[in-house]
Structure 1
Amino acid sequence: MEITRLSPDDEVGCADAVGLMNAAAKLDCPEALLPTPRGYAAHLKHGWDGDPGQAFLARDEDGVAVGLLGLHTPTYDNTHLAWVDAGVHPDHRGRGIGSTLIAYGEELARELGRTSLGTDNWDLPKANAFSLRHGFEQKAIEVNRRQDIAGLDWSVVDRLYDEAAQASTAYELVRVAGRVPEEMLDGMVGLTASINDAPKDDLDIEDDVFTPDRLRKYEAAQEAHDRKIYRVIARERSTGALAGHSTIVVERERPHIAEQHDTAVDRAHRGHRLGALVKTDMLRWLRDNEPAVTQLDTWNAESNTHMIAINEQLNYRIVARVIAYQKSL
């Protein structure tokens, strides 16, 4: 078996990587939202916010892709940490390929001076046993939920919006498509940092550090993925302070797919139903502006009961649970 770093310019390699992911998901999590080869290449080149990771493809002696390793070593914050993700094609499991990839990723992390290693897997008995066997400890549970936009009861959305609007009369909503205006940038940076209040459970991670440059790089990375950004922002009428927001992206390559990237409310403005307000207004905006969207995916820590309660009212269903692990190097 040969392990080589995958370039975002390697069209064949990216297609092989996505083919492997699809084959694995067909067995492990058939409803998983996976990238296209084009989207995966953009991920390798730009990452989520201009801080891309690396990928390594394992091929057997016949050149067949049998395993895939992802490695992300954050540079904006959490510079003690590396995340690895190892996937093996179902036809080639049980041969030690996954163990080889994890060891390869761990060695790379050590060489880069990282002192903590994280990984995650679908909540499946064999996958959990694999992570535990390699010295990882369970630290958190993340849940992927999906909203069926096409089957949404809009009377429920409108009712929740009206109730939230009545509780938040001191605020107005601002809709922003694409990049946030320059005059709102600093306020948006502070508001984005509110995500640090979301549960971290037992993970040994620091708060994310947000800056205007990082926010602009996030927008540029999403544009490079050919996604359109939509933001609904709650702004306090009396002060102009940005108090809460919901951010989603809509794919252009697959225009029926939307992803929830962030929903957060500044702690000084909580208790006014702003989370429900921005999420329901976002749905109403999507209905008018992106009629092709039929599904909206979101991720939450299983312990984030407040946000989950809002999502359940909006008819989200669970697609999968993911267990996050970590160990000291």
Structure 2
Amino acid sequence: MSTLQITIAERELPENVDDTSESARLFREYVDLRNAISSEQTGGADDFSATYRESLGQAKGQTSERQHRLLAIHEGHVIGIGAVDVSLHELQAPAYADVGVHEGFRSRGVAAALLAEVDRLLHEEGRSATQTWVVHPPAPGPTRTAATGWGVVPADTPSVRFLERAGFALEQVERMSSLRLGAESPAMFERMRDTAAEKADGYSVRTWSGRTPDDELESLAQLHARMSTDVPAGALEVEPEQWDAKRLADYEQNALEHMQRQLLHAVAYDAHGAPVAFTLLSLGAGREVAFQEDTLVHADHRGHRLGALVKAANLLQLLEKHPERTRVTTWNAEENRHMLDVNEQLGFEAIGFEGAWQRREAAA
């Protein structure tokens, strides 16, 4: 196929998603294409789609990253999208980058043009290492094994060929798992919670929804910081994150107010009242799915079933406060066998795999 005539432009944020401005029209097309690509990668599921208002709110409320969003425009319409995110807190951390192209315009130079602009922005931002996470649908043929030795993705697919030509290496594979909620769920989660509590002598658990109480922010922020150092990362470059009460409060405000999410927390405390484990559920408005996000047990307190305890307690809170939710989706590194065991005991089943790809030097 011939190369298309396209224009690469950085997305402008409209005042609101419903106005008649050109920026609003292109913003809606950007969101539509992003959602379509996500649905294609996940077998037609719309669980990972975002509404126009959620997308605009997230972009306007972002305080932890500088986000660049790119549009590939052909004959006035968005046919490709790109992203570059750089942390405003960890100034040496790898950047996140991504490109995607409408299925009707692939193999015509659009992704390459987007990647060239991504590389220009990375150079401008002074970031060398780049990471991206890509959902890989099942496909026949050979597979590519992650550098960790755990998990594979199909090797002979357009996305893998593009990533490897661009200098990316598959560092890690994450398992996407789903839990169906049903009539048997309350009793199952109660048994899991009670069994875990027997092993967690001297610990207590507390749940709440919405914002973290002010008097908990600082201590919980320190647990959030450990997500960057204590979870399996394979050979992915990681800069230890610095969290404080304000950063955690800003993160929750963006989720609750700008992205229109509900947050459900479960936290375990030691005998001195210090938080030592937590888990978080995030719920988008008007959906049946909930997302199991960060879960962490402090390294000094492992071996007491605290991960199972907080997860079961939070799932019970979900059933009580949001009975309209029918399933929960989560992600875990394939080598994180302990947490996968916990999820499998709760009833999670694998539904897909996501590759964590890394390029250590941006193209010149």
TM-score, normalised on structure 2?
0.84
In the other structure, the counterpart of 2:95 is 82
Separation of aligned partners in 1, 2:168 and 2:287:
38
Confirm or deny that 1:186 pairs with 2:218: yes
Report 1:152-301 matches (<5 A): 153-195=185-227, 196-223=229-256, 224-236=258-270, 238-252=271-285, 254-301=286-333
Confirm or deny that 1:58 pairs with 2:90: no
In the other structure, the counterpart of 1:46 is 61
* Kept in 1: contact 2:64–2:88 (CA 8 A): no
Shift of 1:21: 2.3
In the other structure, the counterpart of 1:104 is 117
One-letter identity of the residue aligned with 2:272: T
Structure 1 pair 256–27 and aligned structure 2 pair: CA distance change class (3 A): closer
- Structure 1: which 5+ residue stretches go unaligned? none
In the other structure, the counterpart of 2:139 is none
One-letter identity of the residue aligned with 1:87: G
* Kept in 2: contact 1:46–1:52 (CA 8 A): no
Shift of 1:80: 4.5
Structure 1 pair 25–182 and aligned structure 2 pair: CA distance change class (3 A): closer
Q: SS at 1:197's partner residue?
A: coil
* Kept in 2: contact 1:81–1:115 (CA 8 A): yes
Separation of aligned partners in 2, 1:247 and 1:261:
5
One-letter identity of the residue aligned with 2:354: V
Shift of 1:194: 2.9
One-letter identity of the residue aligned with 1:114: R
Separation of aligned partners in 1, 2:88 and 2:222:
19
Q: Moved runs in structure 1, 4+ residues, more than 4 A? A: none
* Kept in 2: contact 1:8–1:42 (CA 8 A): no
- Structure 2: which 5+ residue stretches go unaligned? 1-5, 15-22, 137-153
RMSD across aligned positions (CA): 1.8
Bigger drift between 2-11 and 238-247 goes to 2-11
Structure 1 pair 167–145 and aligned structure 2 pair: CA distance change class (3 A): same
> Quick one: which of 325, 329, 351 aligns to 1:319?
351
Separation of aligned partners in 2, 1:26 and 1:206:
32
Q: SS at 1:162's partner residue?
A: helix
TM-score, normalised on structure 1?
0.92
Shift of 1:182: 1.7
**Offset from partner CA, 1:28-85 (integer Å, 9 cap, x none):** 32236222222222232234x642522111110x212110001101121153522210
Shift of 1:208: 2.1
In the other structure, the counterpart of 1:126 is 158
* Kept in 1: contact 2:38–2:48 (CA 8 A): no
Shift of 1:151: 6.6
**Offset from partner CA, 1:103-147 (integer Å, 9 cap, x none):** 110111001111212223222522111100111122121222222
Q: SS at 1:213's partner residue?
A: helix
Separation of aligned partners in 1, 2:112 and 2:351:
27
One-letter identity of the residue aligned with 2:26: G
One-letter identity of the residue aligned with 1:7: E
